[in-house]
Amino acid sequence: MTKITAAITAVGKYIPDFVLSNKVLETMVDTNDEWITSRTGIKERRILKGEGKGTSYLAIRAAQNLLEKKGLDPKEIELVIVATATRDMQAASTAAYTATEIGAVNAFSFDLDSACSSFLFGMSTAAKFIESGRYKKVLLIGADKNSSMIDYNDRATCIIFGDGAGAVLLEPDTQGYGIQDEYLRSDGAGREFLQVKAGGSAFPITEEAIAKGETTVFQDGQTVFKNAVFNMADVCEKILERNNLTNEDVSWLAAHQANKRIIDATARRIKLDPAKVMMNIENHGNTTSATLPMLIADYESQLKKGDTIIFAAFGGGFSWGSIYLKWAYNS
Ligand code: UT7
């Protein structure tokens, strides 16, 4: 029987209009452009403004961008996965709302959350539906309105995060393109170092929780940084080894955009030419589930059929991993 792989066949992206620059942040908290740029590589990030606009607002527009570019009838889509750490609402599926709004009326849908690894794990999940032979068109969207859970008085977190969305279409391929291998990990001991404590089932939102700052992101930056550097590099090394790939064989590294120093360290560990490292953190900051599809959208015009792309992510939980993909088309 011919082996079916899951190939990315289209991409889309959406970022909100409002630009929050380092210069503006200087007027909000005790920070400066030089510190943010040298420690993170970030210059500006986008913020979604407007009452009632949640993550679905971003997801819908990224999906519409993909549909338009591909000329795809949304009725053909069979499954919509929204990878996100900032669902519109508790208990109501953001993916269901997104699918309906884009006209994917024949699809079922669900949300997938594993913090900054949501999209990477979503790629793995989407691939299984395609590889089963039962599904032909799966739309995977990575979207986050991080500004909804950031305290803009906390300089340790407000400088890092931004809002945005990216989308990819996965379809079956029998020529050897698409997702080749994955190495995915998690470790619950990491939960205490990166979390929004209140608002989930363990600690509901109370006045006391709000007063203690437990409804916004807490991060022990240094611990997360060390774990991210070690683990992202580790999984990249493993996926190369497992597939007998050398740094020469790799066309691109598409790594989660959390901090330029983490991405550079990962690239150094696998001895990758910096020209092969996708980077857009300067203009977007860390958009959690959206970083990987937004990277692919930004680099789409440079990608060639057959390119070897190594995806890598690290995030809350902790959760992390790497995926090896062969790019399936010339744009
Ligand atoms: O996507 C999910 C995963 N998240 C990550 O991967 C993020 C990982 N962590 C990081 O990227 C970095 O740890 C941060 C960017 C969050 C912080 O960078 P750092 O180099 O680890 O800084 P630090 O926390 O060690 O702080 C160094 C100094 C401290 O001052 P002292 O104690 O040396 O006097 C901080 O108080 O920088 C100070 N500082 C700041 N200064 C200006 C901390 N935040 C700021 C700031 N502006 N925004």
pLDDT of residue 2: 86
The answer to whether the CB of 116 falls within 8 A of the CB of 161 is: no
Please identify every stretch of the chain with a pLDDT value under 70, giving residue numbers as ranges.
Answer: none
Distance from residue 217's CA to the centre of ligand 1 (Å): 14
Determine the pLDDT at residue 188: 98
What residues form DSSP beta bridges with 46? 19
**Domain 179-326 belongs to what topology?**
Peroxisomal Thiolase; Chain A, domain 1 (3.40.47)
Decide if 118 contacts 83 (C-beta within 8 A): yes
Domain span(s) for CATH 3.40.47.10 in the chain: 5-176, 179-326
**pTM score of the predicted model:** 0.97
| Protein residue with its CA nearest to atom 14 in ligand 1 | 221
Task: Please give the pLDDT value at position 254.
Answer: 98
Side chain identity at residue 264, one-letter code: D
Which pLDDT value is given to residue 131?
A: 98
241 alpha carbon to ligand 1 midpoint, in Å? 33
Q: Which of 22, 32, 39, 146 to mutate to test the pocket of ligand 1 (most atoms within 8 A of CB)?
A: 39
List the CATH code of the domain at 5-176: 3.40.47.10
Ligand 1 atom, smallest distance to 219 CA? 16
